[in-house]
Amino acid sequence: KSPNRLLFKDRAAYKRFGLIPPPPQQPHGKKAPSLKPQISFRKRSSIDTGVRTIPMALIDAALDEDCTCMQENPKYPNSKSYDLYEEYKKGTTLRELLKLGARRADLSNDIARGYIVLDDPAAQQDMISQALQYEAEGKRKLSSQQYDDDDDD
C-alpha cells in the first residue's frame, strides 16, 4: 500500500475514529508548506554600507587601523562564526583581530555589514567607496599593486 493512500474517502471519518489523516496532496510542482516557524535569528547592523564584501587588498592595507567591534554578537548562535566573533570582538586593530582568531574573510564580511567599524571615519569611507567602485567594475580580484596605483590619483 502507498503511504499517501487514504483509508477513508471522507477526511472527517478520520476524526470520528481518532486517527490523524495524511497531509493533503500538493499539485504537481508545488512544495508543501513548511511546518518550521519562519524565525530569523540574525541581528541587523546599525550601519548599511551598501557593499557585499571588502576586497582583501583593502583589508591588508588597513591592518594597523584602529577599529571597534559591535559588542552584541550579530552572528547565528551556536555556530562557529558566533564562537569566533566572541573571541575576536575584543581586539582594537584589524591586525589584533587576526591574532585573536578572525579570518581575513571574516573581517571583509564584518566590515561590509558594519559589525566592525574603523575608528577613523575617513579611512572607513575610503575603504567602502573603493569597495563599491570595485563591485561596480565587476572585478573578481584586486591586487595590492592595483590598490597602490589607485592611491596615486
Q: What angle separates helix 80-88 from helix 104-113, to the nearest 10 degrees? A: 80
DSSP-assigned letter for residue 116: E
pLDDT at 63 exceeding the cut of 80: yes
Report the pLDDT value the prediction gives residue 83, as an integer from 0 to 100: 93
Q: What is the pTM of this model?
A: 0.62
**Contact residues for 104 (Cβ-Cβ < 8 A; gap 6+):** 56, 59, 60, 98
- Give the pLDDT band (50/70/90) at residue 25: low
Contacts made by residues 68-73, CB under 8 angstroms, sequence distance 24+: 68/92, 68/116, 68/117, 68/119, 69/97, 69/110, 69/115, 69/116, 70/45, 70/46, 70/114, 70/115, 70/116, 72/43
Report the pLDDT value the prediction gives residue 142, as an integer from 0 to 100: 52
Report the pLDDT value the prediction gives residue 76, as an integer from 0 to 100: 87
Report the pLDDT value the prediction gives residue 7, as an integer from 0 to 100: 62
Residue 93, beta-bridge partner list: 66
Quote the CA–CA distance of 120 and 149 in Å, as a whole number: 22
Quote the CA–CA distance of 125 and 118 in Å, as a whole number: 9
